[in-house]
Structure 1
Amino acid sequence: MFKQRVVFVHGAGSFGAAAWPRQHGLALSYDALFLRRHGYDPVAEPVESSFEEDAGILLRSLADDGRGAVGGHVVAHAQGAVAAMMAAVERPDLVYSLTLVEPACLSLTAELPATAAHIALMKPLLDVRHQLSDDDFQREFVRRVYATDLQHPATVEEKRSARRLRLQVPPWEAPLHIVPGVPTLVLTGGWEPLYEEIAGYLRETGALHRTAAGGHRPQDSIEGDRIIRSFIGDASRVQARAS
């Protein structure tokens, strides 16, 4: 039986299937792919992130299954939402639906109050990221975003994670545009005005906005997972009727 594809795009931190623990079960009903963004590898040293490379990875996962272009549903978290939106703008024919979880699409709302305040707070740090050590950057990043102190990374993977964080291109530099005609869900955790502001902007352009507890990872909550599955299920039935 043919299964529609669902492609998951992670944010910072964990990647691949590890970034979507509650969504693994979707593989029973869908052809589920859990991507690794550019520069994310369990062994290789991290490299500078790239919006374009990430979008390319996503589009290739939608366009090639050995039988030609098939398309699919896209679920993306945080910085991964940037690549998801870029891919949907470039090839809306391949994106059946778009689920953006706490999307870091700051370039869309750069002039709105919460986003402007966040950029003003983080830009001085991002501007000097190449002059800082991985540890120093991560510690200051966490202090500014979460107002808490962080211990120095100890394990090899913690050190790689710190380097990946430092090498992320600022999300407010992303060349984003509104996605034309693709059913879109925005899921937020209701904890941070920045993400609620982005969600409000996307809602005004036609997206469906839902909130579930869970902070920056509402997809890990029972309700957040239910919302994602329900939206994809509705979109998959619409796509099946159109096929």
Structure 2
Amino acid sequence: MFKQRVVFVHGAGSFGSAAWPKQHGMALAYDALFLRRHGFDASAEPLESDFQADARIVLGALADDGRGAAGGHVVAHSHGAIAAMMAAVERPDLVHSLTLVEPACLSLTAELPATAAHRALMQPLFDVRHQLGDDDFEREFVRRAFSAHAQDPGTAESRDSARRLRLQAPPWDAPLEIVPGVPTLVLTGGWEPLYEEIAGYLRETGALHRVAAGGHRPQDSVEGDRIIRSFIADVSRRQHQQAS
């Protein structure tokens, strides 16, 4: 039986399927692909982030699957939403829907107050990130952003995670544009004015906005998972009806 593809794009922390623990079961109904963005490889050294490379990874996952079918739904979290939006702007024909969870799309809202305040707080840290050690950067990032909890710095996994965080380019530098004509859901946790501001901006451009408790990871909550699954199922149903 043919399954529609759903591509999952992680944020700056865990990656691959580990970033989507509540969504694993969607593989029963969909052709689910859990991506690793550029520089996220458990067996290789972390690399500097690359917006364009990430977008190419998303587009590659949406390419012809060998059965003559191409395209799918894209679900992206935090920094991963940048690549998802860039891919949808470049090839809207391949993106059946966009689900953006706490999207770090700050370049869209650069002039709005919460985004401007966040950038003013974080820009000095990013300006010196290559002069700081990985652990020092992570601690200061967490202190300023209040968006995550630092891991135990004693493990190899946590050291790699800290380095990947330091190597992420500031999200306000991303070359983003509004995606025309692609059904879009924005899911936020209702905890941070920055993400609610971004969601409000996207809502004004036609996106659906929903809130589920769960801090920066509302997709891990029962309600957040339900919202994601319901949105994709509704879009799939409408698109099937239009094609019939």
Alignment gaps of 5+ in structure 1:
none
Per the alignment, residue 182 of structure 2 pairs with 182
Show the 5 A alignment for 1:89-168.
89-146=89-146, 150=150, 153-168=153-168
Matched, 1:240 2:220: no
Residue by residue over 1:192-226, the C-alpha shift from the partner in whole angstroms, topping out at 9 and shown as x without a partner, is: 00000000000000000000000000000000000
TM-score (normalizing by structure 2): 0.97
> Would the alpha carbon gap of residues 63 and 190 (structure 1) be closer, same or farther in structure 2, given more than 3 Å must change?
same
Note if contact 2:7-2:34 (Cα within 8 Å) is conserved in structure 1.
Answer: yes
Read off the aligned partner of 1:160 and give its amino acid letter: D
Read off the aligned partner of 1:49 and give its amino acid letter: S
Residue by residue over 1:123-156, the C-alpha shift from the partner in whole angstroms, topping out at 9 and shown as x without a partner, is: 0000111111111111111111119985761100
Note if contact 2:147-2:216 (Cα within 8 Å) is conserved in structure 1.
Answer: no
Read off the aligned partner of 2:113 and give its amino acid letter: P
Q: Distance in 2 between matches of 1:170 and 1:67?
A: 38
Displacement after TM superposition at 1:238 (Å)? 1.9
Displacement after TM superposition at 1:242 (Å)? 3.7
Note if contact 1:46-1:164 (Cα within 8 Å) is conserved in structure 2.
Answer: yes
Aligned-partner SS, 1:33: strand
Could you tell which deviates more after superposition, 26-35 or 145-154? 145-154
Per the alignment, residue 43 of structure 1 pairs with 43
Per the alignment, residue 197 of structure 2 pairs with 197
Read off the aligned partner of 1:123 and give its amino acid letter: Q
Aligned-partner SS, 2:12: coil
> Would the alpha carbon gap of residues 163 and 70 (structure 1) be closer, same or farther in structure 2, given more than 3 Å must change?
same
Q: Distance in 2 between matches of 1:74 and 1:152?
A: 32
Per the alignment, residue 76 of structure 1 pairs with 76
Alignment gaps of 5+ in structure 2:
none
Per the alignment, residue 12 of structure 2 pairs with 12
Q: Distance in 1 between matches of 2:58 and 2:73?
A: 11
Segments of 4+ in structure 1 off by > 3 A?
147-152
Aligned length: 243
Displacement after TM superposition at 1:46 (Å)? 0.2
Displacement after TM superposition at 1:241 (Å)? 2.7
Residue by residue over 1:86-116, the C-alpha shift from the partner in whole angstroms, topping out at 9 and shown as x without a partner, is: 0000000000000000000000001100000
TM-score (normalizing by structure 1): 0.97
Displacement after TM superposition at 1:71 (Å)? 0.3
Displacement after TM superposition at 1:237 (Å)? 1.1
Show the 5 A alignment for 1:56-75.
56-68=56-68, 70-75=70-75
Per the alignment, residue 26 of structure 1 pairs with 26
Displacement after TM superposition at 1:240 (Å)? 2.1
Read off the aligned partner of 1:38 and give its amino acid letter: H
Q: Distance in 1 between matches of 2:148 and 2:179?
A: 36
Q: Distance in 1 between matches of 2:150 and 2:109?
A: 29
> Would the alpha carbon gap of residues 148 and 97 (structure 1) be closer, same or farther in structure 2, given more than 3 Å must change?
closer
